[in-house]
Structure 1
Amino acid sequence: MGFTSAWAISAHSDADLAHLGPRLLPAMRADRDDPEAAVRWRAWQRAPLPDHRTWYDHYGPAIESFHRLTAPGRHVDDLCGGRTDPSFHALDDLWDAQDEDGVFLSVHSKEYAVSSLFHALGPSRAALLTGWCGTFVLTATQVAASLPHVERAFAFTPSQRAAAEAQDWLDYAAGEESVLDGPLRVWRTAVRGGTGLCGVSVHLT
């Protein structure tokens, strides 16, 4: 069965986040605090997955666990899709009003951007990223404080960058930002502009 997913990081003022946070954070915490999610995270941290090009030949429980870990969390997905709160929708309430510089948006058919990013980064680098599997609500102060960790996560030598690109399985249209570029770009833009950030991963269809 096909699906389309989106992962977005969008810039918002602290005043806007004061309204968004109470709606989003409980759903994000519920996904993070799911006992199965914690088990999957620890399993991936202990045993990173092999080259994704071998997965079709050696698909097993570890790969399935990783997919479940990095797919949109049920609570955030339901909230942002308007299913638990018909008055709230990610497209209208998070992304529509943002200018291009303040948003990183990665939309794919039958793929999850967070899954590809986390596999390309590996567990140690992914653990540096604030939030839970691509979801977070951060004030301007929190964004500035977390920037050094995000920069460390995306700091590559040329050979490391090539290896990460080889493990990012997403297809990109001409001019489209990759998951290895967009998050750091929008983080730095938010720090310069003194804004907060909101990250969500959802199914669009």
Structure 2
Amino acid sequence: MGITSAWAISAHADAFIAELAPRMLPLIDADRNDQLTQARWSRWSENPLPDHRTWCTGTAGAAVREAVDDFHRLTFGEHIQEMYGGSSPDDDFWLVRDVWERGEDPDRMFLSIQNKDYAIASFLHAVGPRRAALLPGWCGNFLLTSAEVQQTLPRVEQALTFTSDERRAAQERDWIAYLPDEESVLDGPLRQWRQAAEVGLGLCGVALTIY
């Protein structure tokens, strides 16, 4: 069975962020505080993965294959998957209608949809654990008020601003094959952060796997 992944960052007024917080923040906390997830983060931080082009070659040993599987489990976000649809048959919440379409500017939101691929995994591999640790939330999932967007912008700029050599290296680690008009995972998040900070909006980031 194939999969489709989506990573989106949408901008919203603080009133909507407050409305969404009771649903979303417990899911982020549950993923972040899971002991297995914390152990996986520690292993990735201490031993970042090698070039992704080596993962499926005959030279990749068992340790590398195990580390890659560990990394994908880290970036999956088991609990946040509830954000796509309701948490029960009686809950008619739908992320597309109830969050993305309610953004202040849906046409300019950052959205990376990948078929048989994982946008957030490619992003985290591209930036590496040191830069990823500067980002708020957990593995691409966050819910921030306008004040928190302002507070976190310097750290996000530090994480996602590159010298020419650093950018070249990050682009080589980003394995997504982009369409001509598709925004890179290295560009979209910082653009969205700066735009939200400029106009005083909050942000909702959600990374999902849709089966």
TM-score range, shorter chain: over 0.9
Aligned mates of 2:124, 2:83 — CA distance in 1: 23
Q: Which residue of 2 aligns with 1:152?
A: 158
Q: Which residue of 2 aligns with 1:63?
A: 68
Q: Which residue of 1 aligns with 2:4?
A: 4
- 1:53 partner letter: R
Number of matched pairs: 204
Unaligned regions of 5+ residues in structure 1, if any?
A: none
What is the RMSD computed on CA atoms of the aligned residues?
1.3
Of 60, 81, 86 in structure 1, the residue corresponding to residue 85 of structure 2 is: 81
Aligned mates of 2:80, 2:108 — CA distance in 1: 21
Cα-to-partner distance string for 1:125-179 (whole Å, 9 max, x where unaligned): 1111111000011000000000000001111111111111011001211211000
Q: Which residue of 1 aligns with 2:95?
A: 90
Q: Report SS of the residue matched to 1:201.
A: strand
Residue identity (%): 52
Aligned mates of 2:172, 2:94 — CA distance in 1: 34
Q: Report SS of the residue matched to 1:189.
A: helix
Aligned mates of 1:66, 1:45 — CA distance in 2: 10
Q: Which residue of 2 aligns with 1:29?
A: 29
Aligned mates of 2:87, 2:75 — CA distance in 1: 21
- 1:48 partner letter: P
Q: Which residue of 1 aligns with 2:168?
A: 162
Alpha-carbon contact 1:81-1:203 (below 8 Å) kept:
no
Cα-to-partner distance string for 1:86-136 (whole Å, 9 max, x where unaligned): 321111111113324651000001111110001000110111111100001
Greater than 4 Å deviation, 4+ residue runs: none
Q: Which residue of 2 aligns with 1:136?
A: 142
Q: Report SS of the residue matched to 2:131.
A: helix
